[in-house]
Amino acid sequence: MMTASPQTDHPGPDSAGPAAAPQLLQARDLVRVLGHGATAVRALRGVSLDVTPGQMLAVRGRSGSGKTTLLNILGGLDLPTSGTVEINGQDLSRLTDRQRILLRRTTVGFVFQSFGLIPYLTAAENASVPLRIAKADAKLREERVPRVLDLVGLTGHAEHRPAELSGGQQQRVGIARALAQNPQILIADEPTGHLDTAQGLRILGLLRQIADTEGTAVVLSSHDRRVVDFADTVLNLHDGQVLEN
């Protein structure tokens, strides 16, 4: 079994040692086969990993290496062909579709490469979307939305719409939206993919800050070499397999 090798440059708040780092997310021997018969593709080939609160894990690899497939499975958007994913001890494959939806709403936040903002809503309104979907009361929304906008450095842009924001600012709104439900795990698929060098570094720094100050586990995919300077753990994928460091 091959697992990610930890790097110790950025210890999280719960990284004093193995006994002090409870497993939040655990994946074992993940295999994902796409398609059938002669055209079937093995997108993942026995991937295993562990993630603890406050840890930042980066999945690196070229396009087609299996990064997005892995993140979708870790976040409960997809199920593996074989192998298991457990979040807080719950095996996701044993949950109903409804239970997985509820888990994603309460425990996992997603950040997308394409931002995915609603163009006619302000930054504050975009950030509040998960709370509205969850039918959170107005008082909670009034408290939580300013908190997450402040966390990502956009307090002064709450009333701006996406077209009035830079690419980096739009991605920050996307991160604020993902944090609105106070998730334990933040999954970010190529969050710097559409950003220039400076903006990309700021987003990586922000994700590092969120892991350190909020205790949120951050799992992100990237082909960017700079991510190794921010992550605690780097998992290198090639053709769906973990390469030993």
CA distance 242 to 58: 12
pTM equals 0.87
- What does the pLDDT look like over 85-104, one tens digit per residue? 999 999 999 999 999 999 99
pLDDT tens across 126-147, in order? Answer: 999 999 998 889 999 899 999 9
For position 177, what pLDDT does the model report? 95
Burial of 146 (0-12, 13-18, 19+ CB in 10 A): middle
Confidence grade of residue 39 (pLDDT, cut at 50, 70, 90):
confident
Q: Taking the domain 5-13+53-77+96-243, which CATH number applies?
A: 3.40.50.300
Answer whether residue 1 shows pLDDT above 80: no
Q: Which residues have C-beta within 8 Å of that of residue 223, sequence separation ≥ 6?
A: 60, 61, 62, 63, 190
CA-based end-to-end distance of the chain = 14
Percentage of the chain with pLDDT > 90?
A: 70
pLDDT for residue 68 is more than 80: yes
Q: pLDDT class for 36, splitting at 50, 70, 90?
A: confident
Confidence category of residue 245, pLDDT binned at 50, 70, 90? low
pLDDT recorded at residue 17: 44
